[in-house]
């Protein structure tokens, strides 16, 4: 965790030093949904949450360095033994975004990597008594993204995207197909 924080701080400090292009920052917020896949689908239902992101493209107008964080909550399924579990996911990610198509509609590909903070809550009934507990952990993960941004104002864009999030958890991966919509604002 300490190494990740140091790398993130160095990235934020070093990025403005690269390139001759004028500084170009953007920030955004959005709603994120998630459909669990694989083993994660056996215990979880649909997830919903929100994300905040920032980007810097002072290196090249078609490439953007990104920072993303937020919160997505997955509700649990009722399991055959009468228990249920839910999970909260907090991503802290760095990445790169490449715009394939500039203009008033910008199609992009992006890859995010980083830390996922997971909080799992479990509840069950034992001998007529309701018992619950929770566990928090942090794991590495990756999320390739495909999206598009549509011009909605002088410095405002509507962002729509899909991603595949793969979190490297014990014994198997926790994965889901994410999709979201949000607003991005260019800062100059």
What is the per-residue DSSP string for 35-102?
EEEHHHHHHEEEEEEEEEEEEEEEEETTEEEEEEEEEEEEEEPBPTTS-EEEEEEEEEEEEEEEEEE-
Task: Write out the two tokens for 51.
Answer: 């994300």
Partners of 42 in beta bridges: none
Question: Does any domain span residue 115?
Answer: yes
Question: Does any domain span residue 166?
Answer: yes
Question: Is the confidence at residue 104, as pLDDT, over 80?
Answer: yes
Residue 124 or 107, more confident? 107
Confidence of residue 18 (pLDDT cuts 50, 70, 90): very low
**Cα separation, 172 vs 178, whole angstroms:** 19
Q: Which of 82, 55, 80 is nearest to 69 (CA)?
A: 55
Residue keyed to tokens 């994965």: 175
Question: Does any domain span residue 1?
Answer: no
160-171 b/e with 16+ CB inside 10 Å = b?
ebebebbbebee
Task: Write out the two tokens for 179.
Answer: 């999709």
Range of the domain at 135: 29-187
Question: Does any domain span residue 10?
Answer: no
Task: Write out the two tokens for 155.
Answer: 């410095």
Task: Write out the two tokens for 42.
Answer: 């056996």
pLDDT attached to residue 23: 55
**Cα separation, 36 vs 41, whole angstroms:** 5
Phi (first) and psi of residue 77, to 5 degrees = -85, 150
Count the domains in the chain: 1
Residue 181 or 80, more confident? 181
Question: Does any domain span residue 23?
Answer: no
What is the pLDDT averaged over residues 2-19? Answer: 46
**Percent of the chain predicted with pLDDT > 70:** 86
What is the pLDDT averaged over residues 47-72? Answer: 93
Question: Does any domain span residue 88?
Answer: yes
Question: Does any domain span residue 4?
Answer: no
Question: Does any domain span residue 7?
Answer: no
Average pLDDT of the chain, as a whole number: 85
Question: Is the confidence at residue 3, as pLDDT, over 70?
Answer: no
CATH number at residue 137: 2.40.160.20
**Cα separation, 128 vs 56, whole angstroms:** 55
Confidence of residue 51 (pLDDT cuts 50, 70, 90): very high
Phi (first) and psi of residue 56, to 5 degrees = -135, 120
């Amino acid at each position: 965790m300490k190494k990740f924080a140091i790398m993130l701080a160095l990235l934020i400090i070093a990025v403005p030093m690269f390139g001759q292009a004028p500084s170009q920052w953007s920030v955004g917020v959005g709603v994120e949904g998630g459909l669990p896949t694989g083993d994660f689908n056996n215990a979880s239902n649909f997830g919903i949450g929100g994300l905040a992101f920032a980007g810097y493209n002072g290196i090249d107008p078609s490439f953007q360095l990104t920072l993303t964080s937020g919160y997505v909550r997955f509700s649990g399924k009722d399991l055959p033994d009468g228990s249920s579990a839910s999970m909260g996911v907090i991503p802290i990610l760095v990445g790169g975004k490449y715009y394939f198509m500039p203009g008033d509609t910008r199609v992009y590909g992006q890859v995010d990597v980083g830390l996922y903070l997971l909080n799992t809550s479990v509840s069950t009934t034992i001998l007529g008594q309701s018992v619950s507990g929770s566990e928090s952990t942090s794991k590495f993960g990756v999320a390739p993204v495909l999206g598009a941004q549509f011009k909605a104002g002088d410095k405002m864009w509507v962002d729509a995207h899909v991603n595949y999030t793969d979190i490297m958890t014990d014994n198997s991966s926790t994965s889901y197909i994410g999709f979201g919509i949000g607003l991005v604002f260019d800062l100059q």
